[in-house]
Amino acid sequence: MSTTHILGYPRIGKQRELKFALEAYWRGESSQQQLLEVGRTIRQKNWQVQQDSGQTWVTVGDFAWYDQVLNTSLLLGNIPERHQVDNLNLDSMFAIARGQQSCACNHAASDMSKWFNTNYHYIVPEFSESSCFSLQWQQLFDEIEEALALGHAVKPVILGPVSYLYLGKNDDAATAGFQRLSLLPQLLKVYREIFQKMAALGVEWVQLDEPVLGLELEPQWQEALLDAYRTRISPTKLLLTSYFADVLDNADVIKQLAVDGLHLDLSAAPEQLQQVLTWLPEKWVLSAGIINGRNVWRANLPDLIERYRSLKVRLGERLWLASSCSLLHSPLDLDNEDGLGDAKYRLAFAQQKLTELQLLDDAISGDADALRLSRQYSAALQTLNKKTNSALQRRLDQLNPEQRQRKLTFIKRQAIQQQSLQLPLLPTTTIGSFPQTDQIRRQRREYRVGTLSQVDYDAALAKHIADAIKRQEKLGLDVLVHGEAERNDMVEYFAELLDGFIVSRFAWVQSYGSRCVKPAIIVDDIERSKPLTIEWTHYAQSLTTKPVKGMLTGPVTILTWSFAREDLSRAEIAEQIALALNDEVNELQQAGIKVIQIDEPAIREGMPLKRSQWESYLDWAVSAFKLSAASAKPETQIHTHMCYSEFNDIMPAVAALDADVLTIETSRSAMSLLQAFEHFAYPNQIGPGVYDIHSPNIPSVAEIKNLIDKAAQWIPLQRLWVNPDCGLKTRNWQETEAALENMVLATKELRVNWPKGLAL
């Protein structure tokens, strides 16, 4: 008997049922009973497919109404003070995740943060000296019982205490020197209780997720792992689980822990295996994560069989086969798709990965039929491994260093651009998108299904663009945008126009709560065989004498937010995208566009988990960005935009992008980002966002002036821009105009009446 399992399964449902059920419930259109029913059905289906595909256990505890880290907070009774209620229920959970929608008091939502290097966002736990923990939320136990009652063999998953603390933050009540780790002993008490309870339910194995094992942990966090697990903490057996990176930095700690097995992500880091085998304790099982939970590709089964057959011989029953990480990060079912053509034979989504796992296990155990089937199954992959086509490769090889960057230095470019653009002090602009109104969405939908003709759709877009230009002129902004009415998504729009991508219809992946994204899939070389943005940008420019900013998504962001082919390195793919954008930049400027923004919001999130790999990542990421902008003449002003992340620790790389203007999200942290400039003087122009576009609140003139003022303490006025902190597509026009009116007013007041003490 051999063991196969997955670390978790997508919970949104094949038709995104959970999303729609949640949103209906939040709008007050359905009852809690109806929501609970949808959740139950999804869970039961998920367990059933795991059982049907022959997994040893079904994974329980991976279902979440909003987020699995938030589940853990409730389980442990760690409720932020402002959300505490007598009777914890589903609504309290949603209040923590989304804020108390009904009142304007300070029941703010908890922060969200990226789950390691994925595009999934978790709800950040909050801690202070007064945090105390107790077993409060029964969901995990209820679900275990639910699965048992259906006759399943159950393996619960739980986020371990060290990762839970690590992923949290100190809340407002915490004093300055407060160390979250001081809470560990208390926390462990509750974990012991949880394990006891699971054992009492008859659970044999628990999947104990400690994904921080993949990080280069500081000594105090390694110490914490020892404190947590040096002695046995659970009457059940424990599978210590880590993913997304190798565990080698923490090897000395891991081997001392009183657990019963270790799971390795051998898709992300196959090379760790040899080392781990040298110290893996005799009695432990090794769960080999070899079916990649984060991509959409069929596994190369013959190759995996070859690589892991001898391991099977060596470890026997102690070898388990598994998904590399939770399948949460891959789309649900390929059978939903039509219209992917032959590419379909190269793809596998979550449900297909279950089958792969089983086939792999049978074949590795020596089943001849399975061996033959796995060869057939992976046959389509043979066609995949063709390298970059030669014409494109030649073009890339022939690029000389001068063609990979701007020709003049920023200082020289700045002078030339000022000559040509004649912008006032503190130029005002926006980040690209304007409200995506119901009307725009409806028209796009009708166009897609064919009830709105190309001609009528184009006419509608032209109207939206003209409207956006008119409104911006009236507001008195200095650098205008066309508003992105033609784009549903800043990556998908480009993926549909560039060669080398396929765009699925249903390959949704949860991003946070009820939000899902549908990443494009890079199946081939990326080339630009037609213009991408020229027509609409040119049209917008024809309507005004003010400069209109062309709007492109950068190479690193397009790559990071897509599923990438795996026969080329990420660096090579980014370079292909960059070359395509380079052509687009060139054509935009030939069409009379003087300002071009290349968005890179994902540059921070694409960073490897290990700091030791940052430098090489940033090297190619910066080169790719520079290549996209390199065709710009000195008089063409290149902007870039970043948001959603902490940029303080990569400011030198951000500066190395050498964009003429950087606009960046800062207003939520009241410009705290700018403190980075205390240590690092950003050399080019910069527009720190002066208001938070995620909030419907209208910023006052005084608030905006105050923020510009703060920014001016770090950045010389001559290099300062004024703009919101991100695109405005989620706002309505009324909010947008009111906010921008105040922004322009604040700027105008400052231009004539700069506060004393700050030199102009």
**Which residues make up the interface to Zn ion (CB under 5 A)?**
601, 643, 726
Write out the DSSP string of 466-522. Answer: HHHHHHHHHHT-SBEE-B-TT-SSTTHHHHHHSEEEE--SS--EEEETTEEE--EEE
- Is 209 a binding residue for ligand GLN by CB under 6 A? The answer is no
Catalytic, 641? Answer: no
Region of 79-87, 89-97, 341-349, 722-730 interacting with ligand GLN (CB under 6 A) = 722-730
- Is 519 a binding residue for ligand GLN by CB under 6 A? The answer is no
Distance of CA 190 to the CA centre of its chain: 31
- Is 641 a binding residue for ligand GLN by CB under 6 A? The answer is yes
Could you tell me the CA-to-CA distances from 667 to 16, 47, 115, 701 in Å, in that order? 33, 44, 23, 14
CA atoms within 13 A on the CB side of 669: 17
Length of the chain in terms of residues written: 760
- Minimum CB separation of residue 434 from ligand GLN in Å reads 8
- Minimum CB separation of residue 729 from ligand GLN in Å reads 5
**Closest residue to ligand GLN, based on beta-carbon distance:** 727
- Minimum CB separation of residue 728 from Zn ion in Å reads 10
- Is 599 a binding residue for ligand GLN by CB under 6 A? The answer is yes
> Containing H/E element for 661?
strand 661-664
Q: Which is nearer to ligand GLN, 443 or 663 (CB)?
A: 663
Beta bridge partners of 15: none
- Minimum CB separation of residue 561 from ligand GLN in Å reads 10
- Written as one letter, the residue type at 692 is D
- Minimum CB separation of residue 84 from ligand GLN in Å reads 34
Token output for 606: 């694409």
479 binds, among Zn ion, ligand GLN, none (CB under 5 to 8 A by kind): none
Q: Which is nearer to ligand GLN, 359 or 461 (CB)?
A: 461
What is residue 755's DSSP assignment? Answer: P
Q: Which is nearer to Zn ion, 623 or 640 (CB)?
A: 640
Of 83, 121, 538, 694, which is the active-site residue? 694
Give a three-class secondary structure readout of 113-146: EECCCCCCEEECCEECCCCCCCCCCCHHHHHHHH
Token output for 118: 């994925």
Q: Which is nearer to Zn ion, 53 or 667 (CB)?
A: 667
Could you say which of 5, 686, 727, 740 contacts ligand GLN (CB under 6 A)?
727
- Is 432 a binding residue for ligand GLN by CB under 6 A? The answer is yes
- Of 281, 272, 326, whose CA–CA distance to 63 is shortest? 326
- Is 643 a binding residue for ligand GLN by CB under 6 A? The answer is yes
Region of 74-82, 320-328, 429-437, 577-585 interacting with ligand GLN (CB under 6 A) = 429-437
- 3-class DSSP state of 714: coil
Could you say which of 5, 464, 546, 729 contacts ligand GLN (CB under 6 A)?
729
Region of 103-111, 426-434, 530-538, 560-568 interacting with ligand GLN (CB under 6 A) = 426-434
Token output for 520: 């494009």
Q: Which is nearer to ligand GLN, 261 or 601 (CB)?
A: 601
Could you say which of 551, 579, 598, 630 contacts ligand GLN (CB under 6 A)?
551
- Of 558, 536, 559, whose CA–CA distance to 548 is shortest? 536
- Of 202, 197, 188, whose CA–CA distance to 233 is shortest? 188
- Minimum CB separation of residue 448 from ligand GLN in Å reads 20
- Minimum CB separation of residue 658 from ligand GLN in Å reads 19
- Is 688 a binding residue for ligand GLN by CB under 6 A? The answer is no
Binding to ligand GLN (CB under 6 A) within 471-490 occurs at 484, 490
572 binds, among Zn ion, ligand GLN, none (CB under 5 to 8 A by kind): none
- Minimum CB separation of residue 689 from Zn ion in Å reads 8
602 binds, among Zn ion, ligand GLN, none (CB under 5 to 8 A by kind): none
Token output for 137: 């939320």
Q: Which residues contact 523 (CB under 8 A, 6 or more apart)?
A: 343, 346, 500, 501, 502, 565
Q: Which is nearer to Zn ion, 212 or 726 (CB)?
A: 726
- Minimum CB separation of residue 627 from Zn ion in Å reads 22
433 binds, among Zn ion, ligand GLN, none (CB under 5 to 8 A by kind): ligand GLN
Could you say which of 187, 217, 240, 431 contacts ligand GLN (CB under 6 A)?
431
Could you say which of 39, 554, 601, 606 contacts ligand GLN (CB under 6 A)?
601
Give a three-class secondary structure readout of 212-242: HHHCCCCHHHHHHHHHHHCCCCCCCEEEEEC
Q: Starting at the edge strand that comes first in sequence, how are the strands of the sheet with 319-323 ordered?
A: 3-5, 319-323, 285-291, 261-265, 237-241, 205-209, 154-159, 58-60
Token output for 493: 């729009």
Token output for 114: 């990226």
- Minimum CB separation of residue 477 from ligand GLN in Å reads 14
Q: b or e along 416-449 (b: 16 or more beta carbons within 10 Å of the residue's beta carbon)? A: ebeeebebeebbbbbbbbbbbeeebeebbeebee
Q: Which is nearer to Zn ion, 634 or 688 (CB)?
A: 688
- 3-class DSSP state of 550: strand
Give the interface size with ligand GLN as a residue count (CB under 6 A). Answer: 13
- Of 136, 71, 563, whose CA–CA distance to 329 is shortest? 563
Q: Which is nearer to Zn ion, 80 or 689 (CB)?
A: 689
- Is 554 a binding residue for ligand GLN by CB under 6 A? The answer is no
Region of 6-14, 66-74, 294-302, 425-433 interacting with ligand GLN (CB under 6 A) = 425-433
- Is 76 a binding residue for ligand GLN by CB under 6 A? The answer is no
Token output for 726: 């991100």
Write out the DSSP string of 385-447. Answer: ---S-HHHHHHHHH--GGGGS-SS-HHHHHHHHHHHH-PPSS-BB--SB----HHHHHHHHHH
Q: Which is nearer to ligand GLN, 143 or 584 (CB)?
A: 584
Max Cα–Cα distance, the chain, nearest Å: 84
- Minimum CB separation of residue 550 from Zn ion in Å reads 17
Q: Which is nearer to ligand GLN, 350 or 602 (CB)?
A: 602
- Report whether 579 contacts 396 (CB < 8 A): yes
- Is 547 a binding residue for ligand GLN by CB under 6 A? The answer is no
58 binds, among Zn ion, ligand GLN, none (CB under 5 to 8 A by kind): none
- Is 433 a binding residue for ligand GLN by CB under 6 A? The answer is yes
Q: Which is nearer to Zn ion, 78 or 557 (CB)?
A: 557
Residues that bind ligand GLN (CB under 6 A): 431-433, 484, 490, 551, 599, 601, 641, 643, 726-727, 729
Please identify every residue annotated as catalytic.
694
